[in-house]
Amino acid sequence: MTSLPGFKRAASAVVVSILLTACGGESTDTTMESPTGLQVTGAGATFPEPLYQEWIRRYNAKQTEAHFVYEGGGSGEGVKRFIAEKVDFGASDSAMTDEQIAQVARGTTLIPATAGMVVLAYNLPGVEGELRLPRDVYVDIFLGKVWKWDDPRIVAANPHLDLPSKLIQTVVRRDGSGTTFVFTNHLGTISPTWLTEGPGIGTLMNWPGGAMTGNGNEGVAHKIKISHGSIGYIEYYFASRLGLPIATLQNRAGNFVRPDAESGRRTLEAAATAGMPENLRLFVPDPEAEDAYPIVSLSWLLLYGQYPEPAKATALKAAVTWALDAGQPIAEELGYIPLPANIVSAASRALDTIR
């Protein structure tokens, strides 16, 4: 399977950090405060959660002006808490819709903070080697139309593999999820059938074919890990951390591409150069480049346009500025896509508008 440089060492550090948090150790323990008593809380997407936890661990260790805390739970939950003003910042892999933004009296600023790849991880004991999935095939797997691993279309794309006559068990998200939005937005873009016969595009779907469900990227990854014959969509980090095999997917140009940070960065850079929206909601559901991995997405921080506490606004702007600069190499270490310079510049300009 694919691995990115430095991933294993850095991923281990994050796992330790998260375990310390769960066990009441240091890292992002919500009982800890800065000497000034200023605590900044956030919630939302699980797609970038390992990265955000590592950023927070390092940033809290280097400054004492504020203590940052982040809780996953899914993009839907993050947007919900942000609109209700129960957090200081949210996080979402699907950004926010105009209708959602209109509900925020203090204004909303969307900041692209990182990017990643949604991959199809699977569990096929005894099947060794690269599993290739053509575009129409993985659409039909999640439509419930391709339901056995030795289906002739899968076999034709993988003559080098001894595929079993075993039922395919899809694993999907149970919660409102930006990862689900990214995946279904891709499926709906490449397949009209997905829109007419499938569940469509969104963050919470009614999946066909008796899909197995899990909460968060972590929950889906663990379901795949323990379920023979399964396949599910998750963020690259989670598949790599658990050692799950990852399918090689066919892109728009007809090439089979594994997830790769450099090809992802080039995809985003080209998309931003072609036209970065003023609200920074840049989606790339079906990149055109010959070497592009087909499912790449930005992930956004949700910040208020105005904060009643000036110190909180100052602390957030300083932390996000650090993340857009020093935090990007850390993102690449963990298997995320470092933001290209043109997106960082646009994000920094948006950050400057916050008061």
Which band of pLDDT confidence, cut at 50, 70 and 90, is reported for residue 269?
Answer: confident
Confidence of residue 15 (pLDDT cuts 50, 70, 90): very low
CA–CA separation, 138 vs 246, rounded Å? 13
pLDDT in tens, 81-112: 999 999 999 999 999 999 999 999 999 999 99
> How much of the chain exceeds pLDDT 90, in percent?
79
Q: Percent of the chain having pLDDT more than 70?
A: 90
What's the confidence (pLDDT) of residue 148?
98
Res 78: pLDDT: 96
What pLDDT, in 10s, does the model give residues 314-323? Answer: 999 999 999 9
pLDDT, average across residues 213-230: 96
| Contact between residue 78 and residue 329 where contact means Cβ atoms under 8 Å apart | no
Confidence class for position 273, pLDDT limits 50, 70, 90:
confident
- The per-residue pLDDT for 33 is 52
How confident is residue 11, by pLDDT bands cut at 50, 70 and 90? very low
- Measured in degrees and rounded to the nearest 5, phi and psi for residue 296 equal -125, 140
- Residue 9, pLDDT score: 36
Please check whether residue 284 is in contact with residue 294, taking contact to mean a CB–CB distance below 8 angstroms. no
What is the C-alpha separation between 55 and 327, in angstroms, rounded? 7
pLDDT tens digits, 59-87 = 999 999 999 999 999 999 999 999 999 99
pLDDT band at 24 (very low <50, low <70, confident <90, very high): very low
pLDDT band at 212 (very low <50, low <70, confident <90, very high): very high
Is a pLDDT exceeding 90 seen at residue 313?
yes
Predicted confidence (pLDDT) at residue 268 exceeds the cutoff of 90: no
| Whether pLDDT at 166 is above 60 | yes
CA nearest to 265, candidates 239, 304, 292, 244: 292
**Contact criterion met (CB below 8 Å) for 109 and 353:** yes
The pLDDT value given to residue 289: 84
Higher pLDDT, 16 or 249: 249
pLDDT at residue 6 tops 90: no
Tokens representing residue 270 in the block: 């080209």
DSSP state, residue 1: -
Q: What pLDDT was estimated at residue 260? A: 78
Q: What is the mean pLDDT of residues 46-52?
A: 94
Contact 94, 299 (CB under 8 A): no
CB of 114 closer than 8 Å to CB of 299: yes
Give residue 167's pLDDT band: very low, low, confident or very high (50, 70, 90): very high
**Structural domains present in the chain:** 7-115+297-351 (3.40.190.10), 118-261 (3.40.190.10)
Lowest mean pLDDT among 161-170, 208-217, 346-355: 208-217
pTM exceeds cut of 0.75:
yes
Give Dmax over CA atoms of the chain in angstroms. 64
Cβ-in-10-Å burial (0-12, 13-18, 19+) of 289 comes to: middle
Where is average pLDDT lowest: 126-135, 275-284, 296-305?
275-284
Q: Which residue has the tokens 């450099």?
A: 262
* Structure confidence at residue 261 as a pLDDT band (50, 70, 90): confident
- The pLDDT value given to residue 274: 84
In the structure, what pLDDT confidence band is assigned to residue 143 with cuts at 50, 70 and 90?
very high
At 280 the pLDDT is 96
